[in-house]
């Protein structure tokens, strides 16, 4: 949970709400109830926590401690697929040690957001019997803590990363070979996020290419990947997904994953239309359904 200061070709936003937890939980809440773990400082607006709680998002796992909230400063040039980090102030997040309550320990589906893989493993050690575990990571952890990340991946069912991270993690320069190498590390399902070009889904059974929904103007791509993951995992939770489905009904599991990817692409298309979570905060369920149906029509051959 964070504050972001972002500059894009469309403008600038200073110290607005950001962070994977916020983007993920709001997106997922359109499909299923969410429990979140995180830490914020005394400067984090309580009104936002109250708004999250009103959206089937359990924020009792958010700790408010003395100090300032995580603050990321970044910019985008003409290439909106890649953010340039200008500064990162960990603040209270520097000493974050996630502790799960009993209700968190019984979660059926767990999403490990982009944090230190040591903390990701700590969370998994506390969850009792998750039916499905999904994970995100980034180049900072891939290069900085590769052994710790690989330890986490052994226990992960679904990994979501971008192309550059897939090459970095695998040591391969070909995407097919990279995915095969990553699958040997643990995750059976790999999602490769491709920004304005959508996403690719790799399962043991098939490969699926999902386009991004075309929008008139991209204001701020920050959080698009996290909201993609939120809708993806939220949709799976709504459908009662579990890793057993992959063995009991491989074809049905593939169809479900493809629909989840389309849900993710649709949600991300709303996120980029404004700074921070502003567009998601205004999003109505009917808008989401209509745009997802339109995206499905775009990829249909009739």
Which whole number is the average pLDDT over 192-218? 94
Q: Which residue ranges make up each domain of the chain?
A: 2-299
Which whole number is the average pLDDT over 31-36? 96
Question: Over the stretch 107-156, which tens digit does the pLDDT of each residue have?
Answer: 999 999 988 999 999 999 999 999 999 999 988 889 999 999 999 999 99
- pLDDT value at position 139? 86
User: Helix H segments across 116-162?
Assistant: 117-126, 139-144, 146-153
Question: Over the stretch 227-275, which tens digit does the pLDDT of each residue have?
Answer: 999 999 999 999 999 999 999 999 999 999 999 999 999 999 999 999 9
- pLDDT value at position 289? 97
Which whole number is the average pLDDT over 197-202? 96
Please name the residues in contact with 256: beta carbons below 8 A apart, sequence gap of 6 or more: 236, 239, 241, 245
Count of all residues that appear for the chain in the document: 302
- pLDDT value at position 302? 75
Question: Regarding the domain with residue range 2-299, which homologous superfamily does it belong to in the CATH classification?
Answer: Ribokinase (3.40.1190.20)
* 276 SS3 class: coil
Which whole number is the average pLDDT over 268-288? 97
Decide if 39 contacts 62 (C-beta within 8 A).
yes
Question: Over the stretch 58-90, which tens digit does the pLDDT of each residue have?
Answer: 999 999 999 999 999 999 988 888 888 899 999
In angstroms, rounded to a whole number, what is the distance separating the alpha carbons of residues 212 and 264? 9
Q: Write the CA distances from 279 to 61, 148, 253, integer angstroms.
A: 25, 36, 31
Percentage of the chain beyond pLDDT 90 is: 92
In angstroms, rounded to a whole number, what is the distance separating the alpha carbons of residues 133 and 157? 5
Does pLDDT of 277 surpass 80? Answer: yes
**Is residue 236 within a helix (H) or strand (E), and if so which, with residue range?**
helix 224-238
Q: Minimal CA–CA distance to 161: which of 183, 139, 186, 177? A: 139
In angstroms, rounded to a whole number, what is the distance separating the alpha carbons of residues 272 and 275? 7
């Amino acid at each position: 949970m964070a504050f972001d200061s972002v500059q894009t070709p469309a403008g600038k936003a200073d110290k607005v709400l950001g962070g994977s937890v916020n983007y993920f939980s709001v997106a997922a809440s359109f499909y299923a109830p969410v429990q979140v773990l995180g830490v914020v400082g005394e400067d984090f607006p309580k009104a936002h926590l109250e708004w999250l709680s009103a959206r089937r998002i359990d924020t009792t796992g958010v700790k408010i401690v003395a100090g300032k909230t995580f603050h990321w400063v970044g910019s985008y040039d003409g290439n909106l697929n890649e953010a340039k980090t200008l500064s990162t102030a960990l603040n209270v997040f520097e000493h974050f040690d996630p502790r799960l309550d009993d209700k968190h320990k019984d979660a059926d589906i767990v999403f490990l957001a982009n944090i230190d893989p040591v903390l990701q493993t700590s969370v998994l050690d506390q969850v009792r019997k998750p039916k499905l575990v999904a994970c995100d990571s980034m180049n900072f952890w891939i290069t900085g803590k590769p052994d710790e990340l690989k330890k986490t991946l052994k226990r992960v069912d679904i990994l979501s990363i971008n192309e550059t991270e897939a090459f970095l993690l695998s040591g391969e320069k070909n995407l097919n070979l990279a995915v095969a190498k990553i699958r040997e590390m643990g995750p059976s399902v790999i999602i490769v996020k491709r920004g304005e070009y959508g996403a690719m889904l790799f399962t043991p059974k098939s490969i699926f290419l999902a386009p991004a929904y075309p929008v008139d103007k991209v204001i701020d791509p920050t959080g698009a990947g996290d909201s993609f993951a939120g809708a993806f995992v939220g949709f799976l939770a709504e459908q009662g997904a579990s890793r057993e489905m992959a063995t009991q009904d491989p074809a049905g599991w593939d169809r479900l994953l493809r629909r989840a990817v389309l849900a993710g692409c649709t949600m991300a298309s709303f996120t980029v239309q404004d700074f921070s979570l502003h567009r998601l905060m205004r999003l109505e369920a009917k808008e989401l359904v209509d745009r997802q149906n339109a995206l499905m029509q775009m990829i249909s051959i009739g």
